[in-house]
A and B are shown apart, each in its own frame.
Chain A
Amino acid sequence: GAVVSQHPSRVICKSGTSVKIECRSLDFQATTMFWYRQFPKQSLMLMATSNEGSKATYEQGVEKDKFLINHASLTLSTLTVTSAHPEDSSFYICSARGEGNYNEKLFFGSGTQLSVL
């Protein structure tokens, strides 16, 4: 099956710093990537949808200036948490979909555990 690589798997940072998380589709071109956030014992909440070459679409309540998403190529999307605060500590997961087919499975990265001190 298709592989989505997410890096880093775990990051600890100081409050006020910025953290970048990368999501790569290794063996297919991902026209659309999704970023999710997951708190302990809770489900995945969609943060934003990014399409290659265009601005991301953010879900209601997600601050676009805080969570910067870039999808500059068909194999790479990045999420940057700017000026991180302890309340941003969470598990972030990306997923990717191939070109145009809603009937394909979505493939997920292995997630990034962010801890802000």
Chain B
Amino acid sequence: KQEVTQIPAALSVPEGENLVLNCSFTDSAIYNLQWFRQDPGKGLTSLLLIQSSQREQTSGRLNASLDKSSGRSTLYIAASQPGDSATYLCAVYNQGGKLIFGQGTELSVKP
């Protein structure tokens, strides 16, 4: 059974810092991995999708990496801003056709 774990559960940083969020998964047989952002009481916004054959994806200040063999992904946020404050969710799309989520990292960027 696929399990997705995110560390840390919560993170508070001053504005301008670079930071890394971690995600690990137990079954490497995945189609892809996605990082999402969720604001309180809202739905999800897809940030980055990494196919199983890819190593990383970049969008603006965000960079996501994938090491499928070790079951790890990281989301790197450069020059963090208060507007980045949200919960970040990692999810893997496994070969059963289901998207399995981690529990998220709650990020707070202080001005």
Note whether A and B form a binding pair.
Answer: yes
Tell me if B77 is interfacial: C-beta within 8 Å of chain A: no
Tell me if B51 is interfacial: C-beta within 8 Å of chain A: yes
Nearest A residue to B53 via CB reads A103
Given the interface contacts A34-B99, A43-B102, A106-B46, does A91 sit within 8 Å of B41 by beta carbon? yes
How far is B51's CA from A60's CA once the two chains are assembled, in angstroms? 28
- Distance of A48 from chain B, by nearest CB (Å): 11
Q: Hey, which chain B residues are within 8 Å of A111, CB to CB?
A: 41-43
Nearest A residue to B51 via CB reads A103
Q: How large is the interface on A (under 10, 10 to 19, 20 to 34, 35 or more residues)?
A: 20 to 34
Tell me if B21 is interfacial: C-beta within 8 Å of chain A: no
Tell me the B18-69 residues at the A interface (CB within 8 Å).
31-32, 34, 36, 41-46, 49, 51
How far is B102's CA from A102's CA once the two chains are assembled, in angstroms? 19
Q: Hey, which chain A residues are within 8 Å of B51, CB to CB?
A: 103
Q: Hey, which chain A residues are within 8 Å of B86, CB to CB?
A: none
Tell me the A27-48 residues at the B interface (CB within 8 Å).
32, 34, 41-46
The answer to whether B42 touches A95 (Cβ under 8 A) is no
Nearest A residue to B46 via CB reads A105
The answer to whether A103 touches B43 (Cβ under 8 A) is no
In the complex, 18 of the A-B residue pairs with CB atoms within 8 angstroms, ordered by the A residue number, are A32-B97, A34-B98, A34-B99, A41-B106, A43-B101, A43-B102, A44-B44, A44-B101, A46-B99, A102-B31, A102-B93, A103-B51, A106-B46, A106-B99, A108-B43, A108-B45, A108-B46, A111-B42
- Please report B residues at the A interface, Cβ cutoff 8 Å: 31-32, 34, 36, 41-46, 49, 51, 89, 93, 97-104, 106
